[in-house]
Copies of this chain bind each other. A is one copy, B any other.
C-alpha cells in the first residue's frame, strides 16, 4: 500500500502554525497528549488502531494521560507527523516508519521489507532480537522514541486485469506498486505508476493501469478494486506483515514516570494483538464477499515468479543497507534474525499450516 498517495487527497488542509501548538496541558495532574496520525478519520484498520491505542493509554493511565487523536490534515498533514513530533509540536504519532526513509533508509526495516518478517516474527526481532535497541538509536537522532504497536498482517499481491504466468509477464506491465515492491518489479521490466488510491479504479478501467496493489481484502473491497480487475493475486511478498508505530517526542518520553512509560508500552503490546486480529477478522469476511458476491478470481503467483521476486528483493534491500553505517547495522541485525527465525517458523507455523491444508 502506498499511504503517501492514499492520503494525497487528505493532506490539503494547511498545517497549523507551529507557535499555535500548546505544550502538553497540565491541569490537576492530568496531561493532555496530542496524537497526530498519517490516517484519515476512521480509516479501517489503521485509523481505528490509532483510536483504540489512544483509548487504551487513556484508560490504563486512569485518565492521567488523556490522548486525543488527530486524523491526517487536522493538526498537521499525513506526512508532517514525524517533524511535528520531533519538534515537540505534537506529542506522539501513529504512522508507518517507511514513510521516513528519506530521513534514513533504516526506518523501512521497522515497517515492511519484501520477503521479510511476518507480524509475529517482527515482534520477536524488536523485543528479543536487538531491533528495539537499534530503533532507539535511529529515532533518538530525531528526538523520537518509537514503539511497535500495530500490524496489518500479510497483505495481498495485487489486482491484475490479465493472468500472469512467469517473470516475463511483468515486462511492460503498468503497475501501481509503490515502495520497495515497486523497485523490485521494475527490475522485471514493469513500469511503476504512482496514483492516489481514489484514482486506481478509473485507471484500471481505462486501461491506463494493468495492475495495482493496495492492502488486503478488507481495504481493497472498500475501495472497489474488484470492479476494475478480476484476478486477485497472493501472497503479498512486498509487505508480509507491515508494522505501525507510536512515536513519542523523546524529551516528553524521558520526562514520563516509569509507570507512565509502562502504561504506553503495555497499551502498544496489547494493540499489537488487537490490530492484527482486527485485520485478520475483517480480511477473512471481505475475502468471502469478494469471491462469492463479486466473482473475483484468486490466483497464486507462480513459483517461478516468486523465486525471481525473492532474488530481486534481496538485491534491492541489500543495496539500501549500504546507504550509511546505521542502516547497514539495522540490515545486518534484521538479516541475521530473519535467517535464524525462519528455521523455527518453517518447522512450526509453516509446517503446521501446510499439514492442516493437506
Q: Which residues of A contact B (CB under 8 A)?
A: 56, 59-60, 62, 115, 118-121, 123-124, 127-129, 153-156, 216-217, 234-237, 240, 259, 262-263, 266-274, 276-278, 280-281, 283-285, 287-288, 298, 300-301, 303, 306-307, 310, 340-358
- Given A269-B270, A270-B270, A120-B347 contact (CB < 8 Å): no
In the complex, what's the smallest C-beta–C-beta distance from A289 to chain B, in angstroms? 12
Q: Which residues of B sit under 8 angstroms from A277, Cβ to Cβ?
A: 120, 123-124, 127-128
- List 13 A-B pairs, Cβ < 8 Å: A56-B266, A115-B355, A124-B284, A154-B351, A216-B348, A235-B347, A236-B352, A237-B355, A266-B266, A268-B270, A269-B271, A283-B344, A284-B341
A267 to chain B, nearest CB (A): 6
Of B234, B273, B341, the residue contacting A347 (CB under 8 A) is: B234
* Bound Cα distance from A196 to B347, whole angstroms: 26
> How many whole Å from A229's CB to the nearest CB in chain B?
17
Q: A266-B60, A267-B266, A270-B269 are in contact. Are A357 and B348 (CB under 8 A)?
A: no
B123 adjacent to A120 (CB under 8 Å): no
Q: Are B358 and A303 in contact (CB under 8 A)?
A: yes
B281 close to A129 (CB less than 8 A):
yes
> Chain B: which residue is nearest A119 at the CB level?
B120
